[in-house]
Amino acid sequence: MIEAFRPICEDLEQWVASGEVKFSSLPGEVVVARRNQQQRTIKQIVGHMVDSASNNTHRIIHMHYQASPVSYPDYANLGNNDRWIAIQNYLDEPWKELIKLWGAVHRHLVHVIRQVQEEKLEQVWITALGEEITLEEMIIDFPRHFKLHIREIEELL
């Protein structure tokens, strides 16, 4: 494992463990009624986090075997993340199942981060906005995005 990623992995594992406990205690009406500035409910924010972890997992894998710069769809920009939320209809997903999925995809992402090969860190992915992001930058930035959504959920509580 790349030593610089150890604190990222440990931090994410702790956040996921505490998040699963906290989410499990939330009343059903709270997770579907309150909305953030993007008009997302807690269930939709958690669903978006599932999508983010899943897409980042796939991106890491593609960045290991495709030539740089990597061409991989950018689900997060240009409004696609809202399409993903709508198509999957997270509001109808059973809350307990969504919590399990959220925990599982994040634990798997941590597992994948632990497998990253050092010689692949400079692989570049080009976003839909034309930004060049290295694999290393992407992994280092993931906790910021994760915690942003945790804060959104906490604000709705």
Instruction: Tell which CATH classification among 3.40.1260.10, 3.90.1150.10, 1.20.120.450, 3.40.50.1000 matches the domain 3-156.
Output: 1.20.120.450
pLDDT in tens, the chain (157 residues): 999 999 999 999 999 999 999 999 999 899 999 889 889 999 999 999 999 999 999 999 999 999 999 988 888 888 889 999 999 999 999 999 999 999 999 999 999 999 999 999 999 999 999 999 999 999 999 999 999 999 999 999 9
- The pTM score is 0.95
Dihedral-angle region of residue 7 (phi above 0 means left; psi in -120 to 50 means alpha; beta otherwise): alpha
The closest alpha carbon to 47, from 112, 8, 100, belongs to 100
> Number of helices (H) and strands (E), helices first, in the chain?
6, 2
